[in-house]
Amino acid sequence: MVRTAVVGATGYAGAELVRLLVAHPNVNLTVATSEKDAGHPLGDVHRYLAPFGLSLVKADVAAIAADADFAFVALPHGASTPVVSGLVDAGLRVVDLGADFRFSDRDLYESWYGTHAAPGLLQAAVYGLTEYARDRVAGAQLVANPGCYPTGALMALLPLGGSIASPVFVDSKSGTSGAGRAGKTEQIFAEVTENIRPYGTWKHRHQPEIESTLANLGEADVRVRFSPHLLPIARGLLSSCYVQFDRPVDLAKRFADAYASEQFVAVLPEGEVPEPRNVRGTNRVEIGFAYDRDENCATVISAIDNLGKGAAGQAIQNFNCMLGLPEHTGLQLTAALP
Amino acid sequence: MVRTAVVGATGYAGAELVRLLVAHPNVNLTVATSEKDAGHPLGDVHRYLAPFGLSLVKADVAAIAADADFAFVALPHGASTPVVSGLVDAGLRVVDLGADFRFSDRDLYESWYGTHAAPGLLQAAVYGLTEYARDRVAGAQLVANPGCYPTGALMALLPLGGSIASPVFVDSKSGTSGAGRAGKTEQIFAEVTENIRPYGTWKHRHQPEIESTLANLGEADVRVRFSPHLLPIARGLLSSCYVQFDRPVDLAKRFADAYASEQFVAVLPEGEVPEPRNVRGTNRVEIGFAYDRDENCATVISAIDNLGKGAAGQAIQNFNCMLGLPEHTGLQLTAALP
Amino acid sequence: MVRTAVVGATGYAGAELVRLLVAHPNVNLTVATSEKDAGHPLGDVHRYLAPFGLSLVKADVAAIAADADFAFVALPHGASTPVVSGLVDAGLRVVDLGADFRFSDRDLYESWYGTHAAPGLLQAAVYGLTEYARDRVAGAQLVANPGCYPTGALMALLPLGGSIASPVFVDSKSGTSGAGRAGKTEQIFAEVTENIRPYGTWKHRHQPEIESTLANLGEADVRVRFSPHLLPIARGLLSSCYVQFDRPVDLAKRFADAYASEQFVAVLPEGEVPEPRNVRGTNRVEIGFAYDRDENCATVISAIDNLGKGAAGQAIQNFNCMLGLPEHTGLQLTAALP
Amino acid sequence: MVRTAVVGATGYAGAELVRLLVAHPNVNLTVATSEKDAGHPLGDVHRYLAPFGLSLVKADVAAIAADADFAFVALPHGASTPVVSGLVDAGLRVVDLGADFRFSDRDLYESWYGTHAAPGLLQAAVYGLTEYARDRVAGAQLVANPGCYPTGALMALLPLGGSIASPVFVDSKSGTSGAGRAGKTEQIFAEVTENIRPYGTWKHRHQPEIESTLANLGEADVRVRFSPHLLPIARGLLSSCYVQFDRPVDLAKRFADAYASEQFVAVLPEGEVPEPRNVRGTNRVEIGFAYDRDENCATVISAIDNLGKGAAGQAIQNFNCMLGLPEHTGLQLTAALP
C-alpha cells in the first residue's frame, strides 16, 4: 500500500482523484488538502465523498511528506510550483495535474503563463501522455499530467505524424468541470444551459502545449489552431481535428499501429463516431475518423472524459506506471449513464 | 408614451423587464441602471439586448426622477428601500419587484428580513397580485410586486378560501434564474445539472409572504409549509399545493368562478397538467387540479414563468393597470420552445 | 461464482445491472437477452458496455436455465410473468425488477395492471425492500424488486409507522430513465429540457404499491396520494413526503432507530437536504426531514438513484442477501459527478 | 392582410412559424395542417399555442388554395414536392422550408435525395438566403428556404469569396429541434443529455447544399467538408468554419462590406464570440472571426437559431421580401433567456 496524498482535493479533478483512489487496491489515501476548507470533512464540500470520512488539511509540505510517499497535486497553475518543488525535494514521487511542469522550454512557458518559480525542474519532469511516454514515466520522480484538451488532441494527431500539412485545426468541446468550481457569473447554470460558447479562440494556453508536444515528438513544423468551446454538460470532451496531408495516408493502418494493443484506446470502425457519454467516468479514449482521398484531408475525432483520461484517470494511469502496477489498476473500464 | 426607468437592469428580472419594455407601445425606456456596470452599454452584459443601444448608469434618484415618470425597481431586498422611498418622494409611480414593501405588518417583515428603513411606506404600498388587487393597484403610487413563489402558490390557493384545513403543503420547483446572477459555486452548471436540490425547507422568506397574503384575504388560520426546490432549468416555476379541506369543495366551480374571465389564467380540464414550458416568456398561469372525494383533499398545481408572471410580466401587468391600459399591453401571449 | 443471466439487458435498468454485475466478484455473467437486438453485441446498443464483449440472445427459458443459476429479469410488466414462471420452475433463483410479483393481493394487482398470468406465484414472491425484508429475501426463490418510486417513498415513511394521520402526500421527481428507452415524442430532448412535467397525478400504479406495502407492514389505514413529476435529468429520484401526525413524534429518534446500522442509508442532520447527485450510480439513500411541533406535521425527503436503489442496485443487494454475501458486494459506495 | 397557410404546423419549424405569424401585422393565418393530428386543435399538440384557437386540417391543395393566398410549407423532403407543385399551380406564392427545391441541379439533388417528382420547378425556385438573393426573392412565386446548417455556414463563408483555398472545414453544432419531433430512441432525453454526438460526418445532405450554393455564387472550386454535431440544447446552431486562404485577406473589411447595412447580421469585434443564446427566438445572425497572418488562415464562427434564421425566421423574412414589406415585419429583434 502506497501512502498517498491528494493536494487540492476539493476541485473537480481532486475530487475525482479521491473518488478513484479510495477504491484503488494499492493506495492508502492519507492526506487530502484544501486551503479554503481545511479543518472540515471532505464530505462537507462533496457529500458524495462523505462515506470515506476524510478530513481536509492545509497543504503543508513537511506534513504531507511525513504522511505520504506519493502525491497527486491538483492546484491552479502557479500554485503548484512551490508545493511540487518541496515534495520533490522531500523525496516524494509526484504527479502534477497543473500546467507548471508541462513545458520543457522555459521561454515558451513564460510567454503564456508568466515567470516560472522553479525552472530547474522543467527538464526533470516527464510529460505524462502515458501511451507515448510510459518508459520515461516509469522512472520519473515528477510527472506532468497533460492538460485535458492536449490529451484529446494529441491522442488523435500523434499517429498521423510525418504527413501532416500545417496548420491543423482543432475544434474542441468541453464540459464545464474543466473550468473549475469557482463561482463566476459566466459559469452559473442559466448562463450555460441551452447554449454553446466559444472562448479563447486561438489564444488558449493549451495551444502551445499541443504544438510543443507535437514538436517534441517530431512534428516541429506543424502549427495548431485551437478553438475550444464550452458545452452545457458537466464532464466530457470531444475534439475534432481537421487535418490536411502532404501525401496519401492510410488512417486505419496508422491508428491500428498506434493503438491496437492499448487497453484504454478504442479506435472505431469508419462510420462510427466517438461520444463522451461512452467514456464518462473512465480513463478511456474513443477515436473515429473520416478520410477524403480526393482532397487528401481528414477529420479525426476523439472523445475523452476531461476528468478521466483528461485529468484524474491519466494521473492514476501514470501512478500505476510509476509503481510498476498494471495500468488499469483502480480504473473502471465501464462508463455509466449520466 | 411614459418615460420609464428600470432600476437594476442587469439582473435576470431587470433584463426581462428591458426585453419586454423595449417592445411596449406606451413606454419610452429612458433609464437603465446598474451599480456594477454603470458606464457600459447594457449589451456588454446581456448581448441579446445589444440591439437596443441602452447605456447603464448608477441609480441616482434625482437623475432618474429627471428622466422618468415611472420606475420599475429590481434590486436586492434592503437595497430597494432607499431608492423606492426617494422615487416616491419625487412623485414617480413605482413597481418594486423586491420584498421590501410586500408586508403590511412591519414586525412580520422584520422578523424575516431585518430592520426596515422606511416602515411608513409599508401601509401605502399595494401588494400587486393583479387578479386580486387590480382596483387598488390602479390607484396606487407604489406597488409591491409579489414574489415568484407566492404568485404561483396564491394563484392556486386563493380560489379555495373558506374551506382549507390547515396546514397546506406547498412543494415548489423553480428555475435557477430565481436565484439571481451572482457567481456562487453552488449555482455553477456542474453543481446544478442532473440534480434537483431542496433548499430552505420551511424556512424560506416566501412562506410568511404566502401566509400573510392568505390572512389579508380572509384565511387567517391557514398555516403554510413551503418547500422550494432548485431545478436544472433556467426559468419556470411549478407549485404543487397539497390541501386538506374541512368540507366538500367543488374545485372546478371554484376555479371557473375565480378565473373564467382572466386572460392570463388557463384552468386546465381535470387530467391535464400544467407545465412551465407552456408559459415560458409569458405572463400566463396554468392551473390544474385533482380532487379526492373520499379523503376530501386536493392537489392543485400551478405553472408560471418565474421571470414572467413571477416577476417582470406581472410588474408590467401592474404598470398597465396603473396607467389604465389593457392589461396585456406589451405582454406576449405565446410561449416559445426553450 | 454464480452463473447469472440478465433478461432484458438493453433497457436502462438491464444495462445498469450489466454495468454492475461485470464488476461483481461473485458473478459470472453468462446470459444477456434482448428480443429486439438478439444476435448483436450488447456494445452495439450501449457502446459504454462494449469492453465486456457480451452478445445478446433471445429470452428462451430453457437456454437461460442451461447457462445460469440465477436470473435478473428486467422486462416490461406482463412480459415478466411467463419468463419468471419458467425460470422458477426450472429451479433458478430470480429477482424480478418489474411489477408482476410486487402485490400479494391478486385483485389489487389486476385492478391496476390487468389479468395476472401466474397468480399462484404472487404469494411465493418476497417484496424485496431489503432493509425491511432481508430475512425473507435470504430464503426466497423469487424476489419482487420494489418500484423506484415506492422505494423512495417507503424508505422515508416506514420509520414513521403507528403515528401517521391519513392521507400522506408524496411528491416525487424522477429522472427520465425511469420512463424507459422507447422512442416517444414526449420523451425527446426538446420536449423535456427546461421543463418539469407532472404526470399520472394520483393515478400512477406505484400509488397502490406504496399503500399496500404500508398496509402489509402495519399501516392499513394510511392513504397515499402520489404525484410524480418528470425532471430534465437522466437519473435520480427525489421524494418529498408531506405527513400529518396524530401524536407528537420524535423524528430524529425514529430515523436513527430505523437506519443507524444500515450501510446504504444516510440520515442527514436536520437542516441538510438530500440530493440525487450525492447518490448517483450507487445503492445509497439519503433521508432528510423537517418537523413542525406546532402543526405536528413533517416533510420527509429521500433521494435515491432510480436505477440504483430504485432498480439495479437494490436488485443486487437482494442477490447478495439471497446468497449470503455481504450486502454491499459489487455495489459502489461513491457517487460520481454527472 | 394576406391569407396565409402553414402546411405542416406541428413540427418544430411549423410551430415556430405559427408562433411568429399570429403576431405578424400583415398576416391572417387561415390554415394550419397536420396529417397526423387533423381534426384536433393545434393547442392539443403544442399547448403553448392554445391561446390562438387554430384547428388542424389535412393538407388538401384545393382547400388550402380556397382559403389562402400564401403558403409556408414545412414538410419532410419528398412530401413537399406534390403539395408545393399543387399550390404553385393554383397560383399561390410559396416558401418551402424543405430541401425539395434548394438545388438547381437535378442530378445533384437526386444523387443525395432520390428521384425528384417535379424537376421542372427546380429552375423556377429561388434559393432564399435573403441577404444574397433579395431581388430574386422579391419577384419569386416559389422560394426554397435554405437549410439551417447551410444558412449558418454560408453567412460566414460568402463574404470570403475569391480567396478561399479548398477545402473548407465546417464544424457545426446544433440543437435537437433540427432533428424534428419524431420519437426515436436516439433522441430521447437520457440519450442526449450530458453528451455531444457527431453524426453524418462528411455525409450530411447539407454538404452539397453548401457547396452548390458557393458554386452558384462564384466559388465553383471550393470543396466543403461538413461535420455536424448534436448538442444537448433544444434550439441554437453554432458553425465554426476553418478556412485556408490563397492570398492575404482583410476579414474585418470583408464582413463590414457584406453586412454593415444588414439589420439581422451582427459582425462582432475581433475577440468577441458568437453564442446561440444571443439570437434565440430571433432571425438574427452573429458572426465572429479570428485571422492568422502567419498561416493565412481563419476561423469564422456564426451563431443562428436553427428555428429562426435557420427556418421560420428566414421564411418570414422571405415572405416580407416577396410582399414588399420591411424585412423585419413580425420578427422579434430580441432574444430571451432559455
* Distance from C-alpha of D202 to C-alpha of A301, rounded to nearest angstrom: 13
Residue of B nearest to A236 (CA): B190
Q: What is the pLDDT of residue A200?
A: 84
Tell me the DSSP string of B144-178.
EPPPHHHHHHHHHHGGGTT-EEEEEEEEEEE-GGG
Instruction: State the alpha helices, DSSP H only, in A217-323.
Output: 251-259, 313-322
Exposure of D1 by Cβ count < 10 A (0-12 exposed, 13-18 middle, 19+ buried)? exposed
Across the interface, whether the CB atoms of D185 and C189 are under 8 A apart is answered no
Top mean pLDDT of A215-224, A259-268, C263-272 is at A259-268
| Domains of chain B, each with CATH number or no CATH | 2-124 (3.40.50.720), 149-306 (3.30.360.10)
Q: What is the pLDDT of residue A112?
A: 93
Q: Does a cis peptide bond (omega within 30 degrees of 0) precede residue C167?
A: yes
Q: What is the pLDDT of residue B51?
A: 87
Q: What is the pTM of this model?
A: 0.96
Per-residue cell: A62: 513537511
Whether B337 contacts chain A with CB within 8 A: no
Q: What is the pLDDT of residue C217?
A: 86
Size of interface C-D (CB pairs under 8 A): 71
Q: Which of D254, D310, D251, D257 is nearest to D279 (CA)?
A: D310
User: Which residue is it, cell 420584498?
Assistant: B99
Whether D185 contacts chain B with CB within 8 A: no
* Chain D environment of B51 (Cβ under 8 Å): 284, 333-334
Q: What is the pLDDT of residue B221?
A: 87
Quick one: what percent of chain B has pLDDT higher than 90? 90
pLDDT of D94-127, one tens digit each?
Answer: 999 999 999 999 999 999 999 999 999 999 999 9
Q: What is the pLDDT of residue C286?
A: 97
Tell me the DSSP string of B259-283.
HTT-TTEEEPPTT----GGGGTTSS
Average pLDDT, chain C: 95
Q: Residue B202 pLDDT > 80, yes or no?
A: no
* Distance from C-alpha of A202 to C-alpha of A194, rounded to nearest angstrom: 24
Instruction: Tell me what the mean pLDDT of segment A126-144 comes to.
Output: 98
Residue of B nearest to D278 (CA): B48
Least confident of B215-224, B257-266, C251-260: B215-224
* C-alpha distance from A333 to closest chain C C-alpha (Å): 7
Across the interface, whether the CB atoms of A183 and B181 are under 8 A apart is answered no
Q: Residue C338 pLDDT > 80, yes or no?
A: no
pLDDT of B268-308, one tens digit each?
Answer: 997 799 999 999 999 999 999 999 998 999 999 999 999 99
Is residue D124 within 8 Å of D107, Cβ to Cβ?
no
> Which residue among D148, D241, D297, D321 is the active-site one?
D148
Q: What is the pLDDT of residue D286?
A: 97
Q: Residue B217 pLDDT > 90, yes or no?
A: no
Tell me the DSSP string of A295-324.
TTEEEEEEEE-TTIIIIIHHHHHHHHHHTT
Q: What is the pLDDT of residue B39?
A: 97
Q: Which of D194, D164, A231, A283 is nearest to C177 (CA)?
A: D194
* C-alpha distance from D202 to closest chain A C-alpha (Å): 8
C202 pLDDT band (50/70/90 cuts)? confident
pLDDT of B86-131, one tens digit each?
Answer: 999 999 999 999 999 999 999 999 999 999 999 999 999 999 999 9
Least confident of A116-130, A307-321, B190-204: B190-204
Q: Cα separations (Å) of D158 from C292, C308, D173, D216?
A: 67, 52, 20, 11
Complex prediction ipTM: 0.95
Q: What is the pLDDT of residue C330?
A: 95
pLDDT of A229-270, one tens digit each?
Answer: 999 999 999 999 999 999 999 999 999 999 999 999 999 997
* Chain D environment of A195 (Cβ under 8 Å): 233, 236, 275-277, 338
Is residue C175 within 8 Å of D190, Cβ to Cβ?
yes
Chain D segment 264-323 residues within 8 A of A by beta carbon are 273-277, 280, 288, 290, 292, 294-295, 297, 299, 301
Q: Residue C221 pLDDT > 90, yes or no?
A: no
B219 pLDDT band (50/70/90 cuts)? confident
Q: Which of B150, B154, B129, B166 is nearest to B206 (CA)?
A: B150
pLDDT of C282-291, one tens digit each?
Answer: 999 999 999 9
Q: Which of A299, A307, A297, A311 is nearest to A273 (CA)?
A: A299
Q: What is the pLDDT of residue A258?
A: 97
Instruction: Select the residue from B189, B194, B229, B235 to test the A interface by mutation, using most A Cβ atoms within 10 A.
Output: B189
Compute mean pLDDT per 10 residues along chain D, 338 residues long, and list them. Answer: 98 96 97 97 94 94 98 94 98 97 95 94 96 98 98 97 93 96 96 95 89 90 94 98 94 96 94 93 96 93 98 98 98 80
∠ CA B159-B162-B166, nearest 5°, is 100
C166 pLDDT band (50/70/90 cuts)? confident
Q: Which of A14, A287, A323 is nearest to A139 (CA)?
A: A323
Across the interface, whether the CB atoms of D232 and C193 are under 8 A apart is answered yes
Residue of A nearest to B10 (CA): A185
- Would strands C224-230 and C197-198 be described as parallel, antiparallel, or unpaired? antiparallel
Across the interface, whether the CB atoms of C193 and D233 are under 8 A apart is answered yes
C280 pLDDT band (50/70/90 cuts)? very high
* Chain C environment of B231 (Cβ under 8 Å): 196, 231-232
Q: What is the pLDDT of residue A322?
A: 98
Is residue C95 within 8 Å of C128, Cβ to Cβ?
yes
Q: What is the pLDDT of residue C335?
A: 82
Higher pLDDT, C271 or B140: B140
Instruction: Tell me what the mean pLDDT of segment A289-315 comes to.
Output: 96
Whether D194 contacts chain C with CB within 8 A: yes
Quick one: what percent of chain D has pLDDT higher than 90? 90
Q: Residue A102 pLDDT > 90, yes or no?
A: yes
For chain A, helix, strand, coil in percent to 5 are: 35, 25, 40
A332 pLDDT band (50/70/90 cuts)? confident
C262 pLDDT band (50/70/90 cuts)? very high
pLDDT of A173-207, one tens digit each?
Answer: 999 999 999 999 999 999 999 999 999 877 889 99
Per-residue cell: C273: 437536504
Instruction: Select the residue from C188, C194, C337 to test the D interface by mutation, using most D Cβ atoms within 10 A.
Output: C188
Across the interface, whether the CB atoms of C190 and D235 are under 8 A apart is answered yes
Average pLDDT, chain B: 95
- Quote the strand ranges of chain B, DSSP E: 2-7, 27-33, 56-57, 70-73, 93-96, 126-127, 142-144, 164-174, 197-198, 224-230, 237-245, 265-267, 285-292, 297-304
Neighbours of chain B (3+ CB pairs under 8 A): A, C, D
Higher pLDDT, A286 or A203: A286
* Distance from C-alpha of B303 to C-alpha of B43, rounded to nearest angstrom: 30
C218 pLDDT band (50/70/90 cuts)? confident
pLDDT of B124-157, one tens digit each?
Answer: 999 999 999 999 999 999 999 999 999 999 999 9
Whether B234 contacts chain D with CB within 8 A: yes
Q: Residue C333 pLDDT > 80, yes or no?
A: no
Q: Residue C113 pLDDT > 90, yes or no?
A: yes
Instruction: Tell me what the mean pLDDT of segment C168-188 comes to.
Output: 96
Q: What is the pLDDT of residue D338?
A: 73
Residue of D nearest to C178 (CA): D190
Whether C334 contacts chain A with CB within 8 A: yes
* Chain A environment of B338 (Cβ under 8 Å): 194
Q: Residue B218 pLDDT > 90, yes or no?
A: no
Whether C232 contacts chain D with CB within 8 A: yes
Q: What is the pLDDT of residue D154?
A: 97
Across the interface, whether the CB atoms of A52 and C278 are under 8 A apart is answered no
∠ CA C80-C86-C88, nearest 5°, is 95
Whether C115 contacts chain B with CB within 8 A: no
* Chain A environment of C233 (Cβ under 8 Å): 338
**Partner residue facing C233 (CB), from B202, B229, B232:** B232
